[in-house]
Structure 1
Amino acid sequence: MKNTIVKVIPGSIAEELEIEVGDKLITINDTVVKDIIDYKFLMADEYIVVQIEKINGELWDLEIEKEYDEDLGVEFESSILDKARSCSNKCVFCFIDQLPKGMRNTLYFKDDDSRLSFLQGNFVTMTNMKDEDIDRIIRYRISPINVSVHTTNPELRVKMLNNRFAGNIYERLKKLAEAGIDINCQIVLCPGLNNGEELIRTSEDLFKLYPAIKNLAVVPVGATKFREGLFPVTLYDRESSRKEIAMVSTLQEKYISIVDHPFIRLSDEFYILADLDVPPSEFYGNYEQLEDGIGMIRLFRDNINNTLKNLNKNATGSFTFITGTSAFKEIEAAAKRINLENSEIKIDTVKIVNRFFGETITVAGLLTGRDIISQVKEYALGEYVIIPRNMLRSGEDVFLDDITLNELENTLNRKIIITDYSGEDLIEKINNFCKEEK
């Protein structure tokens, strides 16, 4: 059973009722708790009866009066109280299929679970969902959910996902939208497949379901050097990126005139490849699509602008920023601005080429510890090395190749400073590790 309790939060209802680590949650209001969605829904009441199976096998029925949105205060063996559903597709652009052999097993698991979409923001294709799963989302008001659409053309979606059940996406999105479920959509754009007129069709179809479908994020297909035997994909370059930006801008202007925001947005990578500046801050609204790489450059730039005034003008120190190819110019520009503000703070920026996955992978979040170690040898590093949090596995201090942060620090003989990828805490971190001038 995945509903074994592994942590009891101090001061919680569970602690007060003497629920302990190792106990199991069986039912809430006589309903068996099958997964985290059941748990969240059934807990949303002011009076509940919880059945707990103690370690010794005793069953306790506990009557609880609480605030409507108050939780038991426990953590479970499995975050979703169930086994995560794996992806049943064989997408032509799948990044996991492009991983080399010999990496840790968890990297090869393709999740496609609507519960993880709700809890962690993961994107799902909805191909492994039954009609009752859709009905359950509606009944439990699971919202928002994040959906990888890629195209609303049924035949093309079946081809791109290599799944004969993939063609009914629009009907399912429409059902959710009509039920008031908020949806964020994503497209991995592949030249010659779902771009151009197909992208226009998809965007126009999805916009018909606005405001339930809140936004549409578009990211370019990525290819590692391990694509041998896989579907041949064409990568974006300067010319094709500019063409895509120009076409999408026409759609954006139309949507802005109707709903006062662009609805469809391209990831920063398109603008980097096109050698064009990213749109202004107001274009990105509340930056809801950052996880898709949309607006990261603009937000980083704005955060530097807003926090630079807090830089300690009487401090001295030396730092080395480490980043990927795509963000290098932006990070280097920020380093120069900081140095102009206080010339006693020396900052160098090092661009790491992704040799592990291949040079076509340019984002910092997919850099490995080994590439960093092998390429910084030729540089005179500052007292401290700064990297963004998204280089490390979520919630852990480990790179994609299992090099730990501690190993990197020992190898480089430098303290590694972790900052938010948005740059919001960068000036604060620099101040913390600088020294006051005498």
Structure 2
Amino acid sequence: MSKQYAGTILRVYPGSLAEELGLVPGDKIWSVNGQNLRDIIDLSFAMADEEIDLEIEHGDGSREVISFDKDFDEELGVEFSSAVFDGIRRCANHCYFCFVDMIAPNMRSSLSIKDDDYRLSFLYGNFVTMTNMGPHDFKRIEQFHLSPLYVSVQCMNPELRAQMLRCRQAAAIAEQLDRLEQAGADYHTQVVLCSGLNDGEELERTIREVAARRPHALSMAVVPVGITKYRNDPFPLAQFDAAGAARVIDAVEPWQEKMRREDGRTFFYLGDEFYFLAGRDVPPADYYDGFPQLDNGIGLTRNFIEEWGKTVPSELPYDEPICLDVVTGTAVAPVLRKLAESVDKRNLTIRIIPVANDYFGHTVNVSGLLTARDIIARLQAMPGRRDGILLPESALRSGEDVFLDDVSLSEMKAAFPEARIEVVRSGGDYRRALTDWLHYHKDRGAECSYTWQSNAGYTKPSDE
């Protein structure tokens, strides 16, 4: 008999089928119509039947089978504590550039989870290396039509990839992509670019070989390696400087133009930090083709600017002086400053507050990795009046008002009783907050913010 796993209900949606059945948070679902469940993928397919026998374990340990009829497309209406019931498949690689290995000690345990689970790739866009996948996994991808997936390619040179990931199975990247394609799956790809390793000619090779895999290959993102002060791996890594970032841009731009001529889309996208480092403007919106890798941080700045431009500013006057502090990572601070300078509003004073990341090290410059302690210290060092503080929502844990260092938003508010603190997610939020501060309030309940990803981008957080 195969091992059984249970999905623990975290939330029951009002008016849902689950509420009608009397399910409550803490209840566990063990099977549907006698079928064992490994994850919400199994559950979704099993719940497609119209006649359901649901095996439930309640909080007191008692079990029952609830039988009911439902419409074919009617969902149960619950959220689980984890999308995978049999446990997250952990990463067995020891990559030179792994960001999880570079986080500060004694941080919450979920930040140290290195997932490499193709199911989370399909469900949430997490990048996977495929080094831990076997025939059964590819068969399941084909059976359940799990597409698209998100693949950490890093490079197409098999020996170099095995070296960078410190995993012999990593050399089989071409064969694994072949198997994905044979299973009918499309995929987005990512390269964490390390200076002197997989850039230059190796990057050209990777671009060439991934491009040849269209239409199954949907896009390729190139992000610069991120290094914190806590890295203790003996392999030497260097971050890109201005000249190195410019060389990367110059190498990729001809490929982007080639793809646009052939397919009408850019296909290859660079992380915003390359443009910041090189002192160049990020590309126009049409170069991002609808932002297919926005969750990976590709095009965040341009998308932010576009949303700013689409938002109609409030024309209501400020009858009394309003002083706002805008907290941001150092990388995007010039962009926020330029947008703020375009606001012509009497009685409004805006201060852009770039926060150097003392917690992870000053080489980490994105807003999503700011900690509350660094933010508080920077603001307290700034004298003068402040009526409001704008915080980047990416610095807060998804679904919770908690920063990476486990300081709550309410604790931060207590540190600045003289100011109202609001979070900003998009360019539209930013423009509304600046031009209509007296009425601005961000309801985060219906949104999911993006936190950090192990390979120097952004992604939705892993389940514990």
TM-score (normalised: structure 2): 0.87
Q: Please list, as runs of the form range in 1=range in 2, the aligned pairs for 1:245-394 lying within 5 A after superposition.
A: 245-307=249-311, 309-316=312-319, 317-338=322-343, 340=344, 342-379=345-382, 380-394=384-398
Residue in structure 2 matched with residue 185 of structure 1 by the alignment: 189
SS in 2 for 1:165: helix
After TM superposition, give the deviation of residue 409 of structure 1 in Å.
1.4
Contact 1:186 1:218 in 2 (8 A): yes
AA at the equivalent of 2:340: A
1-side partners of 2:185 and 2:57: how far apart?
35
After TM superposition, give the deviation of residue 116 of structure 1 in Å.
1.6
Change (3 A) 1:298 1:34: closer
After TM superposition, give the deviation of residue 229 of structure 1 in Å.
4.1
After TM superposition, give the deviation of residue 292 of structure 1 in Å.
2.4
Change (3 A) 1:407 1:202: same
Contact 1:320 1:381 in 2 (8 A): no
After TM superposition, give the deviation of residue 66 of structure 1 in Å.
1.1
Residue in structure 1 matched with residue 446 of structure 2 by the alignment: none
Contact 2:6 2:37 in 1 (8 A): no
2-side partners of 1:116 and 1:128: how far apart?
14
1-side partners of 2:24 and 2:352: how far apart?
50
AA at the equivalent of 1:397: D
- Asked if residue 223 in structure 1 is aligned to residue 227 in structure 2, the reply is yes
Question: Once structures 1 and 2 are overlaid, which stretch shifts more, 364-373 or 25-34?
Answer: 25-34
SS in 2 for 1:4: strand
* Higher helix residue share: 1
After TM superposition, give the deviation of residue 67 of structure 1 in Å.
3.0
Contact 2:161 2:171 in 1 (8 A): yes
2-side partners of 1:241 and 1:305: how far apart?
28
SS in 2 for 1:124: coil
Contact 2:139 2:183 in 1 (8 A): no
2-side partners of 1:239 and 1:173: how far apart?
33
Contact 2:285 2:303 in 1 (8 A): yes
Change (3 A) 1:193 1:83: same
After TM superposition, give the deviation of residue 169 of structure 1 in Å.
1.8
Contact 1:315 1:435 in 2 (8 A): no
After TM superposition, give the deviation of residue 233 of structure 1 in Å.
0.6
Equivalent of residue 234 in structure 1, options 223, 230, 238: 238
Question: Once structures 1 and 2 are overlaid, which stretch shifts more, 10-19 or 326-335?
Answer: 10-19
Contact 2:104 2:359 in 1 (8 A): no
1-side partners of 2:246 and 2:80: how far apart?
48
After TM superposition, give the deviation of residue 48 of structure 1 in Å.
4.0
Residue in structure 1 matched with residue 461 of structure 2 by the alignment: none
Change (3 A) 1:349 1:90: same
Counting aligned pairs with the same residue, the percent is 41
Equivalent of residue 170 in structure 2, options 149, 166, 171: 166
After TM superposition, give the deviation of residue 253 of structure 1 in Å.
1.3
- Asked if residue 3 in structure 1 is aligned to residue 7 in structure 2, the reply is yes
Structure 2 regions of 5+ residues with no counterpart? 441-464
1-side partners of 2:303 and 2:8: how far apart?
41
2-side partners of 1:265 and 1:4: how far apart?
38
AA at the equivalent of 2:43: Y
2-side partners of 1:251 and 1:6: how far apart?
46
SS in 2 for 1:10: coil
Deviations 1:349-403 (A, max 9, x none): 1111111111111111111111111122232252010011101112211111112
SS in 1 for 2:7: coil
2-side partners of 1:394 and 1:177: how far apart?
33
Q: Please list, as runs of the form range in 1=range in 2, the aligned pairs for 1:200-215 lying within 5 A after superposition.
A: 200-215=204-219
Change (3 A) 1:202 1:44: farther
AA at the equivalent of 2:380: K
2-side partners of 1:20 and 1:366: how far apart?
35
AA at the equivalent of 1:325: T
After TM superposition, give the deviation of residue 255 of structure 1 in Å.
1.1
Equivalent of residue 126 in structure 2, options 108, 122, 126: 122
2-side partners of 1:80 and 1:381: how far apart?
49
2-side partners of 1:300 and 1:56: how far apart?
48
After TM superposition, give the deviation of residue 17 of structure 1 in Å.
3.1
1-side partners of 2:64 and 2:424: how far apart?
47
Change (3 A) 1:381 1:88: farther
AA at the equivalent of 1:334: L
SS in 2 for 1:75: strand
After TM superposition, give the deviation of residue 178 of structure 1 in Å.
3.7
Q: Which runs of 4+ in 1 moved over 6 A?
A: none
- Asked if residue 145 in structure 1 is aligned to residue 153 in structure 2, the reply is no
Contact 1:174 1:209 in 2 (8 A): no
2-side partners of 1:56 and 1:325: how far apart?
51
Question: Once structures 1 and 2 are overlaid, which stretch shifts more, 76-85 or 53-62?
Answer: 53-62
Structure 1 regions of 5+ residues with no counterpart? none
After TM superposition, give the deviation of residue 34 of structure 1 in Å.
2.1
Contact 2:16 2:76 in 1 (8 A): yes
Deviations 1:134-175 (A, max 9, x none): 211111111221111111211111100011111112222222
After TM superposition, give the deviation of residue 242 of structure 1 in Å.
0.7
2-side partners of 1:260 and 1:291: how far apart?
22
2-side partners of 1:155 and 1:49: how far apart?
51
Contact 1:187 1:216 in 2 (8 A): yes
Contact 2:9 2:81 in 1 (8 A): yes
2-side partners of 1:67 and 1:41: how far apart?
11
2-side partners of 1:76 and 1:382: how far apart?
41
